[in-house]
Amino acid sequence: MGHWIYWLDLAGVAVFALSGVILASRTRMDPFGMLVLAAVTGIGGGTLRDLLLGVRPVFWVTAPSYLWVIAATVTLSLIGLRHVHRLSQAVLPVLDAFGLALFTAIGTHKALVLGHGGSVAVLMGMLTGVAGGILRDVLARRVPLVLRQEIYATASMAGATAYVVLFRLALPVGAAMLACLGITLTLRLAAIRWHLALPVLP
């Protein structure tokens, strides 16, 4: 992956790890339980993607910088825990939205670069974006965000589809990624702000 994509990926890990820390602090876990939840959230999605695509070992085994980002996120959060705790209520879904957008873009990108087709790439984008948050919520015994009524997986799918289309049109990776990030993030943040939901059955 290109250099700036690597940094985007690390940013996604930090953001998701922070969401894990916040949830852990709400459920009054100890610092190392916090570390576990941060790690699961931060690298869970990409790990599942690599496992399914047969990339081995998974990305963070050969690039431990990912683990250090998680450790740093948890450490900094513990130092500023009062602030983390104060912010948590409003900030968790927003952080989660940034992580969702970043990981959707990177997951889609990685599947396409490995030569997989469009439908697989879209699913990988969604999985990479969604899985870490699902693991976090299942471990903390909450209803996963993805299973609530607000638009969530839809945002990820729209972003991933845009990426695939622009990639097929041979646009530069940067443009495709920007479009994917913009679409996913806008849809998800709008869904949070105005409680947008797809219609459910009558």
Interface residue list for a copy of itself (CB under 8 A): 24-25, 27-33, 35-37, 39, 47, 51-54, 56-58, 60-61, 64, 67-68, 81-82, 85, 116-117, 119-120, 123, 126, 130, 134, 138-141, 143-144, 146-154, 157, 197-202
- Name the minimum Å distance from CB 185 to a copy of itself: 16
The set of residues, in sequence order, having a beta carbon less than 8 Å from that of 168 and lying 6+ positions away, is: 118
**Nearest-approach distance from CB 177 to a copy of itself, in angstroms:** 22
DSSP annotation of 151: S
Helix, strand or coil for residue 114?
coil
- Cα–Cα distance for residue pair 92/193, rounded to 1 Å: 13
**Alpha carbon distance 75, 42 (integer Å):** 15
Tell me how far apart the alpha carbons of residues 119 and 64 are, in angstroms, rounded to a whole number.
30
Considering the complex, state which of residue 149 and residue 175 has its C-beta at the smaller distance from a copy of itself: 149
**Nearest approach, Cβ of 174 to a copy of itself (angstroms)?**
26
| Cα–Cα distance for residue pair 68/28, rounded to 1 Å | 23
Q: Considering beta carbons, is residue 79 or 175 the nearer one to a copy of itself? A: 79
Minimum distance from CB of 141 to a copy of itself (Å)?
6
Torsion over CA of 152, 73, 77 and 100, rounded to 10 degrees? -10
- Least distance from a copy of itself to the Cβ atom of residue 35, Å: 7
Q: Which is nearer to a copy of itself, 89 or 119 (CB)?
A: 119
Give 17 or 134: the residue with its C-beta nearer to a copy of itself: 134
Cα 176 to Cα 87: distance, rounded to the nearest angstrom:
32
Helix %, strand %, coil % for the chain, to 5?
80, 0, 20
Q: How far is the CB of 172 from a copy of itself (least distance, A)?
A: 26
Reported as type and span, the H/E element at residue 189 is: helix 173-194
